[in-house]
Each structure stands twice: as C-alpha cells, then as structure tokens.
Amino acid sequence: MEHAQCLIIGAGPAGLSAAIYTARAGVGTLVLGCDPKVAGDYDIDNYFGFPETITGKELIERGAAQARRFGASLRCERVLGAHYGDAGGFTVKTDKNEYAADSIVIAAGVARVRPGITNIADYEGKGVSYCVSCDGFFYRGKTVAVLGEGDYAANQALELTTFTQKVTIYTQGKAPSMSGEFAERLAQAGIAVRQETLKTLSGEPALTTAHTNDGQDVPLDGIFVAMGQASALDFAKTLGLPLRGAFIDADHDQKTGVPGIFAAGDCVGRFLQISVAVGEGAKAGKSAISYLKETGKVGKAEKS
C-alpha cells in the first residue's frame, strides 16, 4: 500500500495551501481530489494580490503548480472512505487505490447532495444513517437500502454486506454511474441497483417503510445515504470527529480533537471564502508538520 506522511483530501484552496506548507517542509504529501467547483471561468475579484481579477481556474492551476513545485503529489481520485489503520495511522480508500497515511488534512469543502426525501430529518438516527462504519452493526440481518448512484454508494453497499445480505441500492432517479469494477462487485454480491426514487418515509417509532414516487411501499429497516461523492462530513462521522452542526469542529490551529487529523476551509464552516480557506489550509499544514515531528514520523530539519 502506498504511504504518505500527510494525505490531504481536497484539491481546492484549503487543500493546496496545506500542501504548499507540508511539502515545502519536506513532508511526503499526497493531495487527493479533482478540480473544485470554483476552478471554472469565474472572476475572483476579492482575493489578495490580484487587482485586475483572476479566474478561479487560473488561481487553482497556480496553486496546484506551486504545491507540485515543492514536491507534493496531486491525484484526481475520489476518496470513498477514511479509517483508522490496524497498526496506527490511517487508511484512505479511493475509487482507484488504497493509501496509508500518518496524518490527514480534510479539506473537502461542502458538497453533501440531498437525496430528496421530504421527511428524512424525522428519521435521522431512527433508521436513516450517513455512515456504514458507524451504524452498519445495528442492521445485522436487516433489510437496508443505500441511496446513491456512484462508486461511493457502491462501496457503502459492499461494506454493509459484512452485516446483512439484504442490501439494495436506490439511485433516486439518477442514472447509475458506478465504475466497471464496482458494478461487477455489486453483481457478484447480489446487490440490485434500482432507479426508483424513495420520496417519503414512515414507521413509528423508527423507520419501517419507504414510499416511492410511483406509489410503491418498500419495507426497510435502514437507509444509508451515499449520494454523489463522500463529503467531509462523511469522513468526520466515520473517524468520529466532533462536529458543529453540518461542519467539522476544528480549533484555532485546525486541530479536530483527534491527533493527526486536521480540517480546513469550507468544511469547517466559518467564512466560506478563498482567502479564509487558504489561511486555514496553511494553519492545518503547519499543525500537521508539528504533529509529525512530535510523534517522530518526520525528522527535525524543516524549511518554512
């Protein structure tokens, strides 16, 4: 398994800024993530040092080139899950690889795609979950659905087979977009992928039935939401990080409360701006460097 001293989830302003600091300090740095939303043809008018405006695309390209110049490795891979490693540290699984990491910076922005179930909030914690690693155990032998259309949903459904064989994926009306490898593994595991949309839920005191938009009643004990790609919040829940509402709770040094895991940028939910993401990324990078030194995972020599 490939190893990184610092693995950064997210290639936006926060992740790239963290990478510039860690890589420049000689820390083996791997950034996983594809172009952020802002990397389009948008004029950025309020970022320090660009009086004539700069497009989001150019700003991100420049940040990526700068991180690469100091030795960071950048890969457009989607992280499906982050877990604690058996021998300490962390493991991170993507749609293409699996990595071991001594430290993690979560800089995955805010991206939760809602599944479109009208009364879903009433059943959160009463049958609706966002984290197989956290709650899968409670559904041993039960009938469950995973909501999602891509590799993230496929991975969650396959993880659930540790606990139950009665797993179905509902894409909520979207076209399935699982990669060939995941589609094959789902078929082998006997997990059906259905394109109906679950619209409302019922059951008292907990979920018993989902109702589709074409009038079917689907008996279900549990629903795991895994729409789109895994979000910062999903990683936080799997790793047991403290949350502040829909955001990761990080302190002034971007520490999450779990040694070795830091968070920065929009996923921390302060002022959702590039300048703030860049500043928090720098602090997360600095904290990761200190952690790696204190735990003896990197040497003392450092350029900063």
Q: Which residues bind ligand FAD (CB under 6 A)?
A: 9-15, 32-34, 36-38, 42, 44-46, 78-79, 107-109, 111, 229-231, 265-266, 272-275, 277
Please, which residues have CB within 8 angstroms of residue 278's CB and are 6 or more apart in sequence? 13, 14, 17
User: What is the largest distance, in Å, between two alpha-carbon atoms of the chain?
Assistant: 65
Q: Kindly tell me which of 108 and 186 has the beta carbon lying closer to ligand FAD.
A: 108
Q: Closest separation between CB of residue 38 and ligand FAD, Å? A: 3
Of 79 and 298, nearer to ligand FAD (C-beta) is 79
Residue ranges with strand state E in the chain: 2-9, 29-32, 43-44, 54-55, 73-75, 79-84, 90-94, 98-106, 128-129, 144-147, 167-170, 192-194, 198-202, 209-212, 217-219, 222-225, 243-244, 247-248, 261-263
Beta-carbon neighbour count of residue 140 at 10 Å? 9
Tokens of 116: 């479109």
249: CB partners within 8 A, 6+ apart: 241, 242, 243, 256, 257, 268
Q: CB-wise, 24 or 93, nearer to ligand FAD?
A: 93
Q: State in angstroms the smallest separation of the CB of 78 from ligand FAD.
A: 4
Name which of 25 and 32 has its Cβ closer to ligand FAD: 32
Pick 201 or 263: Cβ nearer ligand FAD: 263
**Cβ 170 to ligand FAD, closest distance in Å?**
20
Is the CB of 171 or the CB of 231 nearer to ligand FAD?
A: 231
Q: Are 172 and 227 in contact (CB under 8 A)?
A: yes
Q: What is the CA radius of gyration of the chain?
A: 20
Q: Which residue's CB is nearer to ligand FAD, number 45 or number 124?
A: 45
For residue 270, the minimal CB distance to ligand FAD (Å) is: 10
d(CA 105, CA 179): 27
CA dihedral 9, 145, 207, 166 (to 10 degrees): -130
